[in-house]
């Protein structure tokens, strides 16, 4: 059985919500899908370099976006 997704409440500024909603529509995603995509990309970028700016040796633990 696939691992269950974690649900949580997120409060956003209404203007930020509108921007994400518009962006999600441009990329044919739901707002939830867009937020998850943005978070995955941020985690990947962060993992690419350690605090010294060197490439991280650890493999990417995140599954590809759905």
Q: Is residue 19 part of a domain?
A: yes
C-alpha distances out from residue 61 to 7, 23, 56, 64, Å: 20, 26, 12, 10
**Domain span including residue 22:** 14-48
Mean pLDDT of 13-30: 97
Is residue 62 within 8 Å of residue 43, measured between CB atoms? yes
Closest CA to 14 of 3, 22, 6: 22
Contact 24, 30 (CB under 8 A): yes
Instruction: Read off the pLDDT of each residue in 21-34 and give the average, rounded to a whole number.
Output: 97
User: Which band of pLDDT confidence, cut at 50, 70 and 90, is reported for residue 54?
Assistant: low
User: How confident is the model over 31-49, as pLDDT tens digits?
Assistant: 999 999 999 999 999 888 6
In a domain, residue 62? The reply is: no
Whether the predicted pLDDT of 28 surpasses 70: yes
Look at residue 50 and tell me whether its pLDDT is greater than 90.
Answer: no
**Is 65 inside a domain boundary?**
no
Residue 21 lies in a domain: yes
CA 2 to each of CA 24, 32, 34, 40, 60: distance values in angstroms, whole numbers, following the listed order: 26, 19, 21, 19, 19
In this model, does residue 3 exceed pLDDT 90?
A: no
């Amino acid at each position: 059985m696939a691992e269950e997704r974690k649900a949580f409440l997120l409060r956003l500024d209404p203007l930020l919500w509108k921007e994400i909603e518009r962006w999600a529509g441009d990329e044919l995603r739901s707002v939830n899908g867009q937020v998850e995509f943005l978070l995955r990309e941020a985690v990947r970028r962060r993992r690419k370099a350690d605090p010294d700016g060197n490439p991280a040796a650890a493999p990417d633990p995140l599954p590809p976006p759905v």
